[in-house]
Chains A and B, each alone.
Chain A
Amino acid sequence: MSEKLLEVNGLKTYFYTMKGVVKAVDGVDFLLSKGESLGIAGESGCGKSTLAFSIIRLVPAPGRIVGGKINFMGKNVLELNEEEFRKTIRWKGISMIFQGAMNALNPVYTIGDQIAEILVIHKNYTKKEALEEAGKLLAMVGIDPRRIRSYPHELSGGMKQRVVIAMALALKPPLVIADEPTTALDVVVQAQIMNLLKKLKKELGISIILISHDLSLIAEIADKVAIMYGGKIVEIGSSEHIYLNPKHPYTQGLLGSIPRLKGEIKDLTWIPGVPPDLSNPPPGCRFAPRCKYASEKCNKEPPMIEIEKGHFVSCWLYA
C-alpha cells in the first residue's frame, strides 16, 4: 500500500461577494499518494485555482474555506492555526507555483536575493549560506548559478518561470502545486519547463499537482487526473482511465475538442453553451444544461460511482 500524502474530503470554499455566494469549490474529494502526481483540468472559472489556494490556505478575501478536511501527512491542516500552518506546512510541506507568478517577481531585487529570502526566513540560514544554496537551486532548474545577481527583467519568460520553480523547491517540499505554470510561454519553452518538472519529480520523488485547462499538458506529468466542472470533481482516475476510457460526458467533450498532431482528421467536437454561474448553479447535475444525455434524473445531484478500480465518475448514466 502506498503512503498517503494528501487527502481532501468534502472541501468547500465559497466567495462571499456583494452579488451573492460564489461556490467556487463545492464538495471536493481526492486522495494523493506519496510521489504520485495529480492533474486538475477544467474550463476557466471552474475553481481550479481556488482549490489550490485552499490547500495552501491562501484563499483571497472575500473567500473562505467553509467545510471539509484537508489531511496532509496525517494531519488535518485546517485545524492548525495560521502560525502553525506557516511554520510547518506552507512552503516546507506544500509549496505553490502561482498562476502568473513569473510576472510577479519583485523587479527591484535580484533573483538570488528572492530565492535566498525564503531560506533565511524558513531555515535561519545566513545571507551567505542562503545565496550559495540559491545558486544550487538555480543550477537544478537549468540556470547558470552565476545569474543569481540578475534582475527579473534581464531574464526571458522561460527563465523567470524556472526561477519561480526554484523558489517553490527551495525547502524541498514533498508536494508542489503548479497552477498553469506554462500559460504565457511558447510551446518550445513550455516543453522545456515540462521536462524540467518531470525530471524534478523523478529525481526528488516529489508529488506535483498540475493545474491546467489543457489536458494535453496534464498528460505530460499526471499519474492521476481530476476533471473539475462548476466547483466539483466530476471524474477522477488514473491517466489511463481518463485519456483512454473517459466516462463523464464532460470529460469526453473536453478530449474531443483537442486537435491532434497525427492520425485521421476527424471533426473536432465542442461543448455547447457556457459554464454555470457559480453563485447560482443549476440544481442537480451542474453540467446538465450543456449535456446531450441529460434527462429527468439529472435534476438530482448524481452520486460519485466507482466504475472500475480507482476510476470514479459522477453521472447518472452510470448510477
Chain B
Amino acid sequence: MLALRIKVNIMAESQLVYEPSKTSEIILYVEKLKVHFPLRRSITDIVKRKPRLYVRAVDGVSFDVKKGEVFALAGESGCGKTTTGKSILKLTPVTNGVIGYLPSEKTLNEVNNIQGIRRLTESGHLDLNSIPEKFFKPFRAEIQMIWQDPFGSLNPRRTIYEILEEPLDIHGVGSSREERYDIIAKMLEAVKLTPPDEFMYRYPHMLSGGQRQRIVIARALILNPKLVVADEPVSMLDVSIRAEILQLMMDLKKKLGLTYIFITHDLALARYIANRIAIMYLGKIVELGEARKVIENPYHPYTKALVEAIPEPDPDRRHIIKELPIKGEVPSPVNVPSGCRFHPRCVVLDQRPELAELCKKKEPPLIEVNQGRYVACWLYANK
C-alpha cells in the first residue's frame, strides 16, 4: 500500500489537477467549497456522546465561470446543485472554501474602503464570504437567482407590479413613481409580456405557468445583474413551452451581457444551451468540460450512466432492454463512501478488479485528461 501511495504522488505531477482560473475573464470562481449541514441529534445521542453527523451537501467543489458564458451544473437530485448556487448568494452558511467574485467597477469602489473584505486577485476578485451582510446589498443586485419553482416563488397576494417593484424599493432604484413604472413596463416588454399594462395588475394565479416563469425572470433581471444563477428554470414547465423560455433567457443574456450559472438535471437540454458543464455526484464534481463534448462522449463512469439513462423519442427503443451501467442507489450524503465516492455503484470495478483497492481507499483528483476536459476517476489519473 505504501508503495502504491508513493507511486501516485510521483506520477500525479505530470497531470494537471483542476484549479479554477482567476483571470479578469472569470466573473466568478469557487474553490474547494464545502457546505456541511449538521444533523439534529436526539437527547440520547447527546447523552451517549455520539459524534455529530453532517450532511455533506457540497464537499469540495471547484469551478470557474467565464464572463458571458452559460455554465451548467448538472447531476441528480440531492447532489448539491442548489446548495452550491445558494452559497454564491450567501443564502447558506459556507463551511469551507472560497468564492471569488469580480464585481462591477461601481460596486468595487463602493466597498473599497471597508475593512476586512478580502481581495483575492490582481483582477479584483473579492472573497464573498468575507463581506459582512450589511455590505452585501450591492452584490445582491449584481448576482441574482431564478428559483427552481415558479409556482411557489411568487407571492400570491401581490400583483405583478408589486412583485417587480419590490427589488427596486429595496435597492432604491428609480426616484419617482413614473420612473419605476417605466422600468417595470420595459422589463415586462423585455420578457415579452405585452402590452405591459395588461399584465401589471394581475395576480400570479391569473397567469399560465410559462407567463409566471417570465415574471420570475423579469424579477431577477430588473436590477441589471451581471451574474444569474438559474436553478432549473424550466423543469416545472411543459416540454412544449420550455424552448420559448430558454430562447428568451438566451436573447436577454445577449442583450444585457449576462452570465448564467444554469442548474439542471437535464443533460440533453444542457447540450443545447451550455458552453461548459460540471457533472456533480454526491457533493463533488466528477467531470467538467465543454458541454457538447462531455455529453456526447462522457468519460467518467457516472456521466456515462447518466447519459445512457436518458430516454429518447425513438420508436426502436421499445424493442431493447439495455441494462444501465450503474449499480445500486445513491447513498446518503451523511455517509459518503470512502475513496472514490462512486465506487459502490461503479461497474468498471467489475471489469477492472485491480483498481478496486485504490478506488475504495483514495479519492481520485479532478485531473485534466485533454484540453479543458477534467475527470475525477482512477481510470484516467496516473496512479
Whether B40 is near chain A, meaning CB under 8 Å from some CB there, is no
Whether A156 is near chain B, meaning CB under 8 Å from some CB there, is yes
B 33-60 contacts with A by CB, 8 A: none
A 236-290 contacts with B by CB, 8 A: 238-240, 242-244, 253-255, 257-262, 265, 267-272, 274
The closest CB in chain A to the CB of B76 belongs to A186
A 60-91 contacts with B by CB, 8 A: none
Q: In the complex, A272 Cα to B296 Cα: how many Å?
A: 30
- Identify the stretch in B21-29, B130-138, B254-262, B303-311 within 8 Å (CB) of chain A at 4 or more residues: B303-311
Q: Is the CB of A43 within 8 A of B238?
A: yes
**Which residues of chain B are near A215, meaning CB under 8 Å?**
239, 313
Q: Within the complex, which residue of B210, B244, B312, B315 is in contact with A261, where a contact is CB–CB below 8 Å?
A: B312
Whether A219 is near chain B, meaning CB under 8 Å from some CB there, is yes
Whether B216 is near chain A, meaning CB under 8 Å from some CB there, is no
Q: Is the CB of A219 within 8 A of B311?
A: yes
**Which residues of chain A are near B324, meaning CB under 8 Å?**
188, 191-192, 195
B246 to A: closest C-beta gap in Å: 7
Q: Within the complex, which residue of B208, B243, B308 is in contact with A191, where a contact is CB–CB below 8 Å?
A: B308
Q: Is the CB of A187 within 8 A of B309?
A: yes
Q: Is the CB of A220 within 8 A of B317?
A: yes
Q: Is the CB of A270 within 8 A of B244?
A: yes
Q: Within the complex, which residue of B244, B272, B310, B321 is in contact with A187, where a contact is CB–CB below 8 Å?
A: B310
| Interface mask (A188-209 → B, CB under 8 Å = 1, otherwise 0) | 1111101100110010000000
Q: Is the CB of B267 within 8 A of A261?
A: yes
Q: Is the CB of A221 within 8 A of B318?
A: yes
Q: Within the complex, which residue of A186, A269, A272, A274 is in contact with B265, where a contact is CB–CB below 8 Å?
A: A186
A 207-224 contacts with B by CB, 8 A: 213-217, 219-223
Q: In the complex, A159 Cα to B329 Cα: how many Å?
A: 10
Q: In the complex, A306 Cα to B39 Cα: how many Å?
A: 61
Whether A10 is near chain B, meaning CB under 8 Å from some CB there, is no
Q: Is the CB of B312 within 8 A of A219?
A: yes
Q: Is the CB of B326 within 8 A of A255?
A: no
Q: In the complex, A220 Cα to B268 Cα: how many Å?
A: 17
**Which residues of chain A are near B317, meaning CB under 8 Å?**
219-220
B354 to A: closest C-beta gap in Å: 27
User: Known contacts A188-B324, A219-B317, A222-B318: does B240 contact A253 (CB below 8 Å)?
Assistant: yes
A89 to B: closest C-beta gap in Å: 27
**Which residues of chain A are near B305, meaning CB under 8 Å?**
188
Interface residues on chain A, size class: 35 or more
The closest CB in chain A to the CB of B245 belongs to A270
Whether B271 is near chain A, meaning CB under 8 Å from some CB there, is yes
User: Known contacts A261-B268, A261-B271, A270-B242: does B306 contact A188 (CB below 8 Å)?
Assistant: yes
**Which residues of chain A are near B321, meaning CB under 8 Å?**
195, 198-199, 202
Q: Within the complex, which residue of B244, B295, B306, B314 is in contact with A219, where a contact is CB–CB below 8 Å?
A: B314
Whether A44 is near chain B, meaning CB under 8 Å from some CB there, is yes
Q: In the complex, A188 Cα to B271 Cα: how many Å?
A: 18
Q: In the complex, A183 Cα to B313 Cα: how many Å?
A: 17
Q: Is the CB of A239 within 8 A of B315?
A: yes
The closest CB in chain B to the CB of A39 belongs to B318
Q: Is the CB of A158 within 8 A of B240?
A: no
B 188-247 contacts with A by CB, 8 A: 208-210, 238-244, 246-247
**Which residues of chain A are near B292, meaning CB under 8 Å?**
265
Whether B266 is near chain A, meaning CB under 8 Å from some CB there, is yes
Q: Is the CB of B306 within 8 A of A187?
A: yes
Q: In the complex, A244 Cα to B314 Cα: how many Å?
A: 8
Whether B16 is near chain A, meaning CB under 8 Å from some CB there, is no
Q: Is the CB of A158 within 8 A of B311?
A: no
Q: Within the complex, which residue of B240, B313, B329 is in contact with A43, where a contact is CB–CB below 8 Å?
A: B240
A66 to B: closest C-beta gap in Å: 27
A43 to B: closest C-beta gap in Å: 5
The closest CB in chain B to the CB of A238 belongs to B315
Q: Within the complex, which residue of A192, A194, A268 is in contact with B311, where a contact is CB–CB below 8 Å?
A: A194
**Which residues of chain A are near B208, meaning CB under 8 Å?**
274
**Which residues of chain A are near B269, meaning CB under 8 Å?**
259
Q: In the complex, A257 Cα to B240 Cα: how many Å?
A: 6
**Which residues of chain B are near A198, meaning CB under 8 Å?**
318, 321
Q: In the complex, A43 Cα to B209 Cα: how many Å?
A: 12
**Which residues of chain A are near B330, meaning CB under 8 Å?**
186
User: Known contacts A253-B240, A257-B239: does B314 contact A243 (CB below 8 Å)?
Assistant: yes
**Which residues of chain B are near A270, meaning CB under 8 Å?**
240-244, 247
List residues of A whose CB falls within 8 A of some B CB: 37, 43-44, 156, 158-159, 186-192, 194-195, 198-199, 202, 213-217, 219-223, 238-240, 242-244, 253-255, 257-262, 265, 267-272, 274
List 30 A-B residue pairs with CB atoms under 8 Å apart, sorted by A's residue number.
Answer: A43-B240, A186-B76, A187-B76, A187-B265, A187-B306, A188-B309, A188-B326, A190-B311, A191-B311, A191-B324, A198-B318, A202-B321, A213-B238, A213-B239, A215-B313, A216-B310, A243-B314, A255-B313, A257-B239, A257-B241, A259-B272, A261-B267, A261-B268, A270-B242, A270-B243, A270-B244, A270-B247, A271-B240, A271-B241, A274-B210
List residues of B whose CB falls within 8 A of some A CB: 76-77, 208-210, 238-244, 246-247, 265-269, 271-272, 292, 295-296, 305-315, 317-318, 321-324, 326, 329-330
